[in-house]
Amino acid sequence: MHFQSVTFDLDGTLLDTVGDLAEASNRMLRELGLPTYGEDEIRLFIGRGINVLVERCLTRPEPPAAEQLDRAIAAFKRHYAEVNGQFTDLYPGVLEGLQAWQATGLPMAVITNKAAAFTEPLLERKGLRGFFSVVVSGDTTAHKKPHPEPVFHACRVMGCTPERNLHIGDSIHDIHAAKAAGSAAYCVPYGYNEGQAVSAADCDALVGDLGEALRLARTC
């Protein structure tokens, strides 16, 4: 196989976390005396980390003042810590796909824009932490996806070159981060992309699940 390592996005690729994020968002909004959103609406706000999610929740239609945003972010983090993992499910085929990738012996990493305080507990609660030698969270490096630094960091720690790394995600942010780092990018079609579906033209391959990604990678 051409690839020497593989990195995975978390929300929208491995885990469907919208239930947790919607619950925490709506608890935050109720605390602030603001109207809540449906889960499908919250789904459109996901993709650039907690601060952007909260800001989008408060933009009705004008962005919130800095003081209100800071207060809302603090409230969200408190509520999210309480529900983290309770309303999250693995996507179909994820566990089997990760087991198959692990059997290749390639080092594996998670790259997410979620803060480490939430990423590590979530991986543990869903039984996924043991698959990964590296976890790159939104506050691990100075920049988040779509900046390439999280991919560079994961590859440095794994001892692999970005050019021989495969990144698997669900959004244009994953594609941009991977491409900027020099990595190949496969995308799954079922995750979050702020309402804009990714297509095969955007990435190196559009795959139905992690197992299909491995089968395709073996041909490279």
What are the residue numbers of the active site? 9
Q: How far apart are the first and last CA of the chain?
A: 6
Residue 165's identity, in one-letter code, is N
Could you say which DSSP state residue 63 is in?
A: P
Could you say which DSSP state residue 11 is in?
A: B
- Beta carbons within 10 angstroms of residue 60's beta carbon: 10
**Distance from C-alpha of 186 to C-alpha of 174, rounded to nearest angstrom:** 9
Omega of the bond leading into 146 within 30 degrees of 0 (cis): yes
Residue 135's identity, in one-letter code, is V
Residue 219 CA to its chain's centroid (Å): 26
Q: In 3-state terms, the chain is what percent helix, strand and coil (to 5)?
A: 45, 10, 40
Contacts (Cβ under 8 Å, ≥6 apart) of 63: 55, 69
Q: In the numeric block, which tokens belong to residue 98?
A: 């990760």
